[in-house]
Amino acid sequence: MSQFSEDFQTGLRDLMRWRRDVRRFRTDPVDEALLRDCLATFALAPSVGLSEPWRIVRVASPAARAAALANFRAANARALDGYDGEKALIYSGLKLSGMRDAPVQLAIFCDEATRQGAGLGAGTMPETRRYSVVAAVTQFWLYSRARGLGLGWVSILDPARLCRDLDIPDDWALVAYLCIGWPEEESATPELELAGWEHRRHHVPVESR
């Protein structure tokens, strides 16, 4: 028995199916109250030992945005160099970030040195602190999409360079760079699948021990 209705359960599956990594944004601004509402979901995320290790930096100034965009372009050019033939051709045509246009950009870090939670649950697997940040990002992603916003996660970045350029504390590790704004279009099919880069499996195998 669940306190959540079947309609809600169906809606949740629909949201997950439709979520997408959005890379094509309109440039019109995002209302600050809406952004705050979405960011409030971070406080509802699970975290190891209640450590809440997420740290959010808004990349807002022209200098910070230019540094992040240059970082992506350099890392993306290096990545392209690693592909040959048809893969290189497809890669060069992919749009892999909305960093040029997205009105809101957030760099999300994990504070590896936080004393909150007193280390509970992170003794044998300290990486669970970073996983807590990923869980929070996932919730933020789902809720932002439910509110109609688009979100894209950029991982083609040199984290050390970004931390240096944004003057980030030494103990913070970059987990995600998020582009947020109003999507140009919606699609239920991932851009990488549309472009012929990769196909999803659509089934979930389970082994047993």
Residues 151-180 touching its own copies, rule: CB under 8 A, are 153, 155-159, 166-167, 174-176
Q: Restricting to residues 107-126, which ones interact with its own copies according to CB under 8 A?
A: 107, 116-125
Does 4 participate in binding its own copies (rule CB under 8 A)? yes
Smallest separation (angstroms) from its own copies to the CB of 184: 14
The yes or no reply on residue 23 touching its own copies (CB under 8 A) is no
Q: What are φ and ψ of residue 69, in 5° steps?
A: -65, -40
Residue 69 contacts its own copies per CB under 8 A:
no
Q: Is 43 in the site for its own copies (CB under 8 A)?
A: yes
Q: Is 62 in the site for its own copies (CB under 8 A)?
A: no
User: What 8-state DSSP symbol labels residue 95?
Assistant: -
Three-state DSSP state, 177: strand
Q: Is 143 in the site for its own copies (CB under 8 A)?
A: yes
Select the residue interacting with its own copies from 23, 49, 53, 98 (CB under 8 A). 49
Contact positions with its own copies (CB under 8 A) in 70-99? 75, 78-79, 82-83, 87, 91, 96
Q: Phi-psi region for residue 200, left (φ > 0), alpha (ψ -120 to 50) or beta? A: beta
Give SS3 for 54: strand
- Least distance from C-beta 75 to its own copies, angstroms? 5
Closest Cα partner for 180 from 55, 64, 35, 42? 35
Q: ∠ CA(9), CA(10), CA(13), 5° rounding?
A: 90
Count residues binding its own copies (CB under 8 A). 99
Using CB under 8 A as the binding rule, whether residue 208 contacts its own copies is answered as: yes
Please identify which residue in the block is written with the tokens 């807590």: 132
Residue of 17, 31, 170, 185 interacting with its own copies (CB under 8 A)? 17
Count the Cβ atoms, other than its own, within 10 Å of residue 102: 27
> Rule CB under 8 A: which of 180-199 touch its own copies?
190, 192-193, 197-199
Buried b (16+ CB within 10 A) or exposed e, 11-50: eeeeeeeebbbbbbbeeeebeeeebeebbebbeebebbbe
Nearer to its own copies, 60 or 70 (CB): 60
